[in-house]
Amino acid sequence: MSAPRFDGIAVGATLATLDADAGYGIVENAALAWKDGGIAYLGPHDPALESAAAEVRRFDGGVIAPGLVDCHTHLVFAGDRAAEFEHRLQGASYEEIARAGGGILSTVRAVREAGEDALLAESLPRAKALIADGATTLEIKSGYGLDFDNERKMLRVARRIGEELGVGIRTTYLAAHALPPEFAGNADGYIDAAIEWLPRLHAEGLVDAVDAFCEGIGFSPAQTLHMFEAARALDLPVKLHADQLSDLGGAALAAGFDGLSADHIEHTSEDGVRAMAERGTVAVLLPGAFHVLRETKLPPLDLLRAHGVPMAVATDCNPGTSPLQSLRQAMQLACTHFKLTPEESLRGATTDAAKALGLRDRGVLRVGMRADFVHWRIRRPAELCYWLGGNLADGVFAGGKRIA
């Protein structure tokens, strides 16, 4: 008997392939087959195809869409910052909390006190929650260690999450996140130290990209430039927390290094948007932080559309400003706060999010792409942004293997 043509096939659902410049790419009464982790067939269902598959997954309706890609998270951390949430509701600003020793530095203290296994144990439930609601690829940043050993610990935990859960992981080095207490008053010295750690961590296979927090309460454009030059010397791509609280030209700075993405960008100018368009830098919208911080300054959405800048959507899952454990909820917030259409939001969490990570093998259903897909208990794709909460994912598959 000859070997099966496919490792598996899914039948009985409508496909939303997103494999077009516009529209959901709907295929009714469809079949999706995979082999060696990649999509090997996509199209109308023919019962004869089932006999060529080692495994047949039958669905009674619903929609199969590309697996969600969460392209901006800080989900590896210890402790929580619920008290800060209360303080903000009582009138304290994000900057006031940070300057008083709270914010990022409070999480740094908790991460430094946690061993690697304990940090993994705290972080796994958050990753599982994201996967359960449709994520098949997660970007995870460091940035709560702020010294060599603890940045390394965070990146190792991120890799271990991928190994344990079967989800795709991209790791981002974000040592330039905040100034640790041992470098108080010496930001340039800290950037020099963080640059020194980077080649060592990269040599261990722990770094896929480099990020920085370019902001008045973070690091200056000159310091960010210094970090990005070190990344370029190692042929590592960059992304940037840009123009969240003020316009320091961060989006244009990231674009000048052919950055994968500029993230937040509430205060980005038209010059910054134009630079992103010219260099192919994706705008990553983070409506969770916008929502939790009760911001009112919207990203330059009309300019992004006018200049053709792809708009990704991500959770920004973190303990302080976006304790959001559902990318689908981020998609809904992007619709309600930023007035994205459901199609824009779904593309933002799949096709454009994959671009924001430099990944060309996922984010769309097409023969030859990774078999990352989700079967949703819905009638039409817009429901992914319509429902608030609920358990809509009936099966989450990464590389053809069910992970939730």
pLDDT 10s per residue in the chain (404 long)? 466 799 999 999 999 999 998 899 999 999 999 999 999 999 999 999 999 999 999 999 999 999 999 999 999 999 999 988 888 888 888 778 877 767 889 999 999 999 999 999 999 999 999 999 999 999 999 999 999 999 999 999 999 999 999 999 999 999 999 999 999 999 999 999 999 999 999 999 999 999 999 999 999 999 999 999 999 999 999 999 999 999 999 999 999 999 999 999 999 999 999 999 999 999 999 999 999 999 999 999 999 999 999 999 999 999 999 999 999 999 999 999 999 999 999 999 999 999 999 999 999 999 999 999 999 999 999 999 999 999 999 999 999 999 99
Give 93's contacts (C-beta < 8 A, 6+ positions apart). Answer: none
Here the tokens at position 322 are 């976006």
Check whether 81 is labelled as a binding-site residue. Answer: yes
Closest CA to 15 of 367, 325, 315: 367
Q: Determine how many CB atoms are found less than 10 A away from the CB of residue 395.
A: 19
Per this entry, what is the length of the chain? 404
Same domain for 107 and 195: yes
Same domain for 263 and 116: yes
Closest CA to 260 of 234, 237, 285, 288: 237
pLDDT score of 1: 44
In a domain? residue 187:
yes
Helices 187-203, 148-165: inter-axial angle, 10-degree rounding: 40
Only one residue has tokens 């989700």, namely 374
Same domain for 270 and 172: yes
Q: What whole-number distance in Å separates Cα of residue 138 and Cα of residue 129?
A: 12
Same domain for 373 and 252: no
Same domain for 186 and 142: yes
Q: What whole-number distance in Å separates Cα of residue 371 and Cα of residue 357?
A: 18
Query: Which CATH number fits the domain that encloses residue 55?
Result: 2.30.40.10
Q: What whole-number distance in Å separates Cα of residue 62 and Cα of residue 57?
A: 13
pTM of the model: 0.97
Check whether 280 is labelled as a binding-site residue. Answer: no
Query: Which CATH number fits the domain that encloses residue 319?
Result: 3.20.20.140
Same domain for 36 and 106: no
Q: What whole-number distance in Å separates Cα of residue 396 and Cα of residue 369?
A: 16
Give 89's contacts (C-beta < 8 A, 6+ positions apart). Answer: none
Q: What whole-number distance in Å separates Cα of residue 272 and Cα of residue 281?
A: 10
Check whether 46 is labelled as a binding-site residue. Answer: no
Same domain for 388 and 350: no
pLDDT score of 251: 98
- Residue spans of alpha helices (H) in 243-392: 250-256, 270-279, 287-292, 301-306, 327-338, 342-348, 351-356, 383-386
Q: Are 241 and 215 in contact (CB under 8 A)?
A: yes
Same domain for 386 and 278: no
pLDDT score of 2: 60
Q: What whole-number distance in Å separates Cα of residue 56 and Cα of residue 95?
A: 54
In a domain? residue 368:
yes
In a domain? residue 239:
yes
In a domain? residue 1:
no
Coil/strand/helix, residue 42: strand
Check whether 177 is labelled as a binding-site residue. Answer: yes
Check whether 318 is labelled as a binding-site residue. Answer: yes
Same domain for 398 and 329: no
Same domain for 397 and 315: no
Indicate the Cα dihedral angle 150, 155, 161, 162, nearest 10°.
-170
Domain count, the chain: 2
The DSSP secondary-structure symbol of 182 reads G
Residue type, 370: R
State the residue range of the domain holding 383: 6-67+363-402
Give 236's contacts (C-beta < 8 A, 6+ positions apart). Answer: 173, 198, 202, 207, 208, 209, 210
First to last CA, the chain: 32
In a domain? residue 35:
yes
Same domain for 110 and 12: no
C-alpha distances (whole Å) from 226 to each of 242, 249, 349 are 16, 15, 31
In a domain? residue 25:
yes
Closest CA to 301 of 337, 272, 338: 338
Check whether 337 is labelled as a binding-site residue. Answer: no
In a domain? residue 125:
yes
Q: Which helix (H) or strand (E) holds 15?
A: strand 8-16
pLDDT score of 286: 98
Same domain for 231 and 333: yes
Check whether 375 is labelled as a binding-site residue. Answer: no
Check whether 186 is labelled as a binding-site residue. Answer: no
In a domain? residue 128:
yes
Q: What whole-number distance in Å separates Cα of residue 313 and Cα of residue 285?
A: 5
Closest CA to 264 of 321, 336, 335: 321
Distance of CA 224 to the CA centre of its chain: 21
Check whether 267 is labelled as a binding-site residue. Answer: no
Check whether 190 is labelled as a binding-site residue. Answer: no
Parallel, antiparallel, or unpaired for β 56-58 and 63-66? unpaired
